[in-house]
Amino acid sequence: MADLKVRFGGLQAVAGATFDVREGSMTALIGPNGAGKTTAFNLMTGFIRADSGAVRFAGHDIFRERPDRISRRGMVRTFQLTRVLSKMTVIDNVMLAAPDQPGMRLDHALFRPRAWKAREAVVREEALGLLAEVGIEKHADAYAATLSGGQRKLLELARALMTRPRLVLLDEPMAGVNPTLGRRLIEYLQRLRAERGLTILFVEHDMDTVMGSSDEVICMAEGAVICRGTPEHVRTDPKVIDAYLGAAPAAA
């Protein structure tokens, strides 16, 4: 994205932010609360329209495209405040995201029942596998409304991965998730990146996760990018320390 700007009333939420995400990388987006990180996600994925700027993905201009079209191009995201279909089961939430489902077309449902039933069986098996990977397979037949906040985060991740994305944007994926499962999820995402070439951009406040898992780190403050580079470079940058990380305590 380049020189993105959006104003909400008198607040300049994103003020000319520019950054790119290298294909196949695991990139962290950090910064203080109110820095514009989630708004940047919303702009990139079409949930908010920017006042000006540019967004390109996989060679296509997606500036101001609808979220569903952006998703079909291969860019999907999860939310800081989870969004699940609470009156559907967990597995149905995941299966709904699968591409190429013939049963969603009326003519196929009426005249090609064997084809859509066979595809549904494959989709169900894939969904169960994803739920197992994120650690909530035992809740597959429960209603999504019964999940805890952390479990809903995991459900959103499984649903996003069900679309077979090229780029996945994760908004605070570790929030509310127990540390052991969190580490397992990071390892799983790194494996997907290695095996499928998945590109990951994630917002996170846990600096151990950021510094230990990222190829690159981008830091935003007051709606603009103030630093980007390797984790070690960003960790020691004076602007990042001043705006976000704070000075390390003096040795005793």
List, for residues 13-68, the tens digit of each pLDDT value: 999 999 999 999 999 999 999 999 999 999 999 999 999 999 999 999 999 899 99
Considering the domain boundaries, does residue 47 fall inside one? yes
**What is the CA 36 to chain-centroid distance, rounded?**
15
β-pairing verdict for 199-203 and 26-30: parallel
Considering the domain boundaries, does residue 87 fall inside one? yes
115 pLDDT band, cuts 50/70/90, is low
Considering the domain boundaries, does residue 237 fall inside one? no
Least confident piece of the model among 37-51, 109-123, 138-152, 232-246: 109-123
Q: What's residue 185's pLDDT?
A: 84
Considering the domain boundaries, does residue 238 fall inside one? no
Give CA torsion, residues 113, 119, 123, 124, to 10 deg.
Answer: 50
Specify the 3-state DSSP secondary structure of 207: helix
Q: Could you tell me which residue, 101 or 158, shows the higher pLDDT? A: 158
Tokens linked to 61: 């201009």
Q: What's residue 237's pLDDT?
A: 95
Domain containing residue 131: CATH number: 3.40.50.300
The number of distinct structural domains making up the chain is 1
Q: What's residue 107's pLDDT?
A: 56
In whole numbers, what is the pLDDT of the chain averaged over residues?
Answer: 88
Q: What's residue 110's pLDDT?
A: 57
Considering the domain boundaries, does residue 239 fall inside one? no
Q: What's residue 183's pLDDT?
A: 84
Considering the domain boundaries, does residue 39 fall inside one? yes
Considering the domain boundaries, does residue 147 fall inside one? yes
- Give the whole-number percent of the chain exceeding pLDDT 90: 65
Angle at the Cα of 188 from the Cα atoms of 187 and 190, rounded to 5 degrees: 65
Considering the domain boundaries, does residue 250 fall inside one? no
- State which residues form the domain around 90: 2-231
